[in-house]
Every structure is written in structure tokens, then in C-alpha cells.
Amino acid sequence: MDTSNLSVSLFLPFCTPEALASRLGRADAPLLLDVRPDKRFLESKRLLAGAQRCTPDGVAGFAASQPRREVVVYCVYGHQVSRGAAAVLRAAGWDARVLAGGFAGGEDGVDSDADIARWRAVCLPTITKRADLGVTGEQASRWITRERPKIDRIACPWLLRRFIDPRAEFFYVPATQVLSEARRLDAVAYDLPGAPISHAGERCSFDALLAAFGLQDAALDRLARIVRGADTDQPGLAPEAAGLLAVSLGLSQLHQDDHAMLDAAVPVYDALYARCQSTATARWQGTPAETHNWPPVGAGAV
């Protein structure tokens, strides 16, 4: 790593865990770059949800080879390693910030007790590394399923790209070809009997992904019920399930190309997740969630 910028690293902008948590899973979320030293990265079984791995020595090359964008960098404690990486990225024209407290939420005996308490009070979602599923943060994963997706086969790619692997690639093929093409393409089959990720009882492939990666998030749990209700014809599981089914079937009529269908449906899941987030936050704060009312408050009779 070029150390010429380390002297200014103390003046780098920081991103608090709370600010990052409010943007994770959104279409405009910043790139999350894991620059923990090799030993600490390899011994850790988890990484922050949606993070991409870059070795500390590889930051300069990464900065020069990738389109510049907003990025939040983290190491173990948010000290020299991530600050040095962010300095290199900023020198290359990136909008780079350091995650305050890093992956561990601060270092005991080094950071102040008040800072540590504040950072660790925010539970940033993490995922379990799954080399068997091609997800370690070090390379793009590949996934394959049946053609003509409707609900679960759209919800899973949304979950993967927003929280597990933003670089994930997806393939849609005839059902009879999924397993053979999975072997040929070195892709993970999903939403098919016998696939590594699929339905289990009343649980959908979306549920299976959450479990496989140990992804815990109240809003995602609520979204999982909506997906399950729509995908398994159980609209009573969530009020939004019937609406999701109707919109999904309508989008399928509009799009014959499976990837076009995926692109068109992703904003639907973005909106549903945002709604699930606001509902979960309102419940936690004991305040009413946003609603739509008619007639408008204060409107006079006509």
C-alpha cells in the first residue's frame, strides 16, 4: 500500500455504524470494502453484509482499476489499516470514508468507552462466509435457477445482490438443465428440488438463503414472510403477500426476457424492504408507521 497519505489519515471523514445501517440494502448503498489484514480476515468466519474483500496491499490497484464511487472502508478496529486504505482511495478521487470502530466496534483499552458503547449498540448485519456457495467476499459468486422467474427466483437475487454479494451473477435455464448447467458454469443451483438452496417445508428459498448465511435483520424477516406468502399461495401470512403476487404476475406478462424481468422487479423489493424497515423501526420506537389516509387531514367537505 502507498503510505504517502497515511499522515493525513487522521483527518479522513468517518461513517458511523448508525449511518451505515440506515443505508445497507438500498440501491444507493455505498460500496463496503473489507481491508482487514490477511490473517484477521482469514481467521474470521464472517464479514459485513454485502462487503467486498480487498487486501491492504491491493488498495492502490483496486482504486486505479475500478470506477470511482462512494465507498466505506473497514478493518478490525477502524484504525491505521482502514484509514490508510481510505487515504489511498481519496487520493485516487474516490469518495471514501472509514467505518468508525471497524468490524469489531472499537478496540478495548484504545478507543474511549463511550465510543465503543455507541458503536457496538448498532448491530450491523453480517454474513457467514460460505466458500461452498462461492461467497467469501473475494470474488463474484454465480447462481442458477429455472427460467421464467416470478417471486422466489427474483427475491433471492435481490437478497444476494443487496446483502450477500453485490457482484453475484445469475443464470436462468430450463428446469431440466439447471443441475447440469450448474456444474458446467460452476454456479450454485437454487429454488429447485435437490439444489443446495431450495424450499424446506413451508419455507422458501429466500428463507434458506437467510439461514445459510446467518443473516439476521428484522426487516428481512418480515420481507421473508411476504415472499413466503406470495410464493406458496398463503396470502394470510402477510398483508402485502397478495399484492406482491399480483405485481409479480403482471411483470411476468410484460417481460419475456428473464433478466429484464429481474431488473424490473428489483425496485419492487427495494420498496418492500424500505416498508419493512420503517415498520420495524416504528414498532421498536413505539410510534405508528407511515400510512395513507383519505380524505386528507384538514381537508374541508366539498
Q: Does the pLDDT value for residue 198 go beyond 80?
A: yes
> Looking up cell 437467510, which residue turns up?
210
Answer whether residue 238 is part of any domain: yes
For residue 57, give the C-alpha cell: 496491499
Rg of the chain (C-alpha set): 21
Answer whether residue 104 is part of any domain: yes
Mean pLDDT of the chain: 92
Dmax over Cα atoms in the chain, in whole Å?
Answer: 71
Answer whether residue 292 is part of any domain: no
Average pLDDT over residues 222-240: 97
pLDDT in tens, 127-163: 999 999 999 999 999 999 999 999 999 999 999 999 9
pLDDT computed for residue 1 by the predictor: 41
Domain region containing 102: 6-124
Average pLDDT over residues 243-269: 98
Contact 156, 209 (CB under 8 A): yes
Q: Does the pLDDT value for residue 300 go beyond 80?
A: no
Contact 148, 141 (CB under 8 A): no
pLDDT computed for residue 279 by the predictor: 81
Single pTM value for the model: 0.91
Band of residue 301 on the pLDDT scale cut at 50, 70, 90:
low
Amino acid letter, residue 92: A
Omega into 295 within 30° of 0, i.e. cis? yes
270 and 170 in a common domain: yes
Band of residue 291 on the pLDDT scale cut at 50, 70, 90:
confident
pLDDT computed for residue 186 by the predictor: 98
Q: Does the pLDDT value for residue 292 go beyond 80?
A: no
pLDDT in tens, 74-110: 999 999 999 999 999 999 999 999 999 999 999 999 9
196 and 73 in a common domain: no
Report the share of the chain in percent with pLDDT over 70. Answer: 91
165 and 74 in a common domain: no
Count how many domains the chain has: 2
Band of residue 283 on the pLDDT scale cut at 50, 70, 90:
low
182 and 115 in a common domain: no
pLDDT in tens, 4-63: 333 444 568 999 999 999 999 999 999 999 999 999 999 999 999 999 999 999 999 999
C-alpha dihedral sign at 174, 177, 179, 183: negative
78 and 189 in a common domain: no
3-state per-residue secondary structure call for the chain: CCCCCHHHHHHCCEECHHHHHCCCCCCCCCEEEECCCHHHHHHCCEEECCCEECCHHHHHHHHHHCCCCEEEEECCCCCHHHHHHHHHHHHCCCEEEEECCCCCCCCCCCCCHHHHHHHHCCCCCEEECEHHHCECCCCCCEEEEECCCCCHHHHHHHHHHHHHCCCCEEEEECHHHHHHHHHHHCCEEECCCCCCECCECCECHHHHHHHHCCCCCHHHHHHHHHHHHHHCCCHHHCCCHHHHHHHHHHHHHHCCCHHHHHHHHHHHHHHHHHHHHHHHHHHHHCCCCCCCCCCCCCCCCC
